[in-house]
Amino acid sequence: MAKVLNVTGGFYEKNKVMESFVVKASDLTGPKGCVRECMMYTDCNAVNFDMTRSYCELLDVAISDDETINNSNEVYFSNISDWTKDEDACWPNTCPPKTKCIVGYGNLNICIPIVTPCSSGPCKNDGTCTFSGPVYTCTCKPGYYGNICQFSPCHVGPCVNNGTCSVSGSTYSCACPLGYYGTNCEFSPCHVGPCENDGTCSVSGSTYSCACTLGYYGTDCEFSPCHVGPCQNDGTCSVSGSTYSCACTLGYYGTDCEFIACKQNTCQNGGTCTPTGGPNYECACSLGWYRSTCNKHACEDEPCANSGTCEPTGGSDYNCECQDEWSGKTCDKWNGIGR
């Protein structure tokens, strides 16, 4: 490999060809004519002369500031000693970057821009441009993509719920509105399901609100109609639609089990009140008394005749202790003794 610093004048190495593309081609011309035309042609960076055919190509080198020359057996640079100059206006090279120095008429240096497919800066977002011939390729920074790196990690709009996307290194980050969170702001204040008892959650600004089903209340619908404990006297509360109902213990009744079945205690004469369910009760009467309130005595009507003695036996039943000459249930039968 060889390097040529001044490609439009000076020394060329025989049997070498430069990687380049043709600006202008001429037939039936000599090497000096080819060189002379190249010196006056502003886009010419090199001369490629085929001595076997007197064929000349004016070339624009398409690789770098230090052009590479490759081996070839068919086309080569002629060793043109008679136009080599003792003084080279392009040595040292005073042209600015991205330009090439050529020696023009009167041994004056001419700075021409090196125009490549990357000269226009086609690669966006700090992508690196490389080219091969007239075709360029963009190598994108991590996170960017597209044929000219035009797409950033935010291109697909990953941030939902009005989150703001910003590029962060090779990825993205989302600035979420108040109340929203998650990598993509995908979670709202309702995400965790704060509303209890089938309440409906809706976003309200940066927080949430719960629409409670009938009977329930509280920020999160956490309170039921039974929350305040309306059932008295150990009654059991259960939700019933939008309200509640109380299952009362035996002896109590009322909406809130507030009433006592035996509170009035209508059992007389030592009778004992026994609840039977709801407001109902029974009186367990003491011996000799009967009826619902124990207000009637078995011997009250003096059923035993002829000086018989009445003895209650339970409920309305009784026995009569008769005098010797009398017998029967009520001592009403005379035995015929003593008369």
pLDDT for 76-100, tens place per residue? Answer: 333 333 333 345 667 677 888 878 8
Q: Report pLDDT for 172.
A: 93
Domains 224-257 and 298-334 share a fold: yes
Per-residue DSSP letter, 216 = -
How far apart are the C-alpha atoms of 149 and 270, rounded to whole Å? 103
DSSP state of 223: B
Please report, as a single letter, which amino acid is at residue 76.
Y
User: Under CATH, which number does the domain 224-257 receive?
Assistant: 2.10.25.10
| Ramachandran region, residue 220 (left: φ > 0; alpha: ψ -120 to 50; beta: rest) | alpha
- Non-local (6+) Cβ contacts of 34 within 8 A are 26, 47, 49, 56, 58
The secondary structure element, H or E, covering residue 301 is: none
| CA torsion, ordered 281, 284, 288, 290, to nearest 10 deg | 20
Q: Domain ranges in the chain?
A: 2-113, 224-257, 298-334
pLDDT tens digit sequence for 250-275:
999 999 999 999 988 889 999 999 99
State if pTM tops 0.75. no
Q: In this predicted model, what pLDDT tens digit does every residue of 168-222 receive, in sequence order? A: 888 999 999 998 999 999 999 999 899 999 999 999 888 999 999 988 999 999 9
Mean pLDDT of the chain: 80
CATH number of the domain located at residue range(s) 2-113 in this protein:
3.50.4
Report whether 191 contacts 179 (CB < 8 A): no
The reported pLDDT for the residue numbered 169 is 83
Phi, psi of 112 (to 5 degrees): -115, 145
The percent of residues in the chain predicted with pLDDT above 90, rounded, is 53
Over the stretch 38-75, which tens digit does the pLDDT of each residue have? 666 555 666 666 666 666 766 665 443 333 333 343 33
Phi, psi of 14 (to 5 degrees): -65, 150
Cα-flanking dihedrals φ and ψ of residue 101, to 5°? -90, 130
**Measured distance CA(127)–CA(122) in Å, rounded:** 9
Pick the residue with more confidence: 38 or 283? 283
Fold of 298-334: Laminin (2.10.25)
Contact 136, 147 (CB under 8 A): no
Average pLDDT of span 317-330: 92
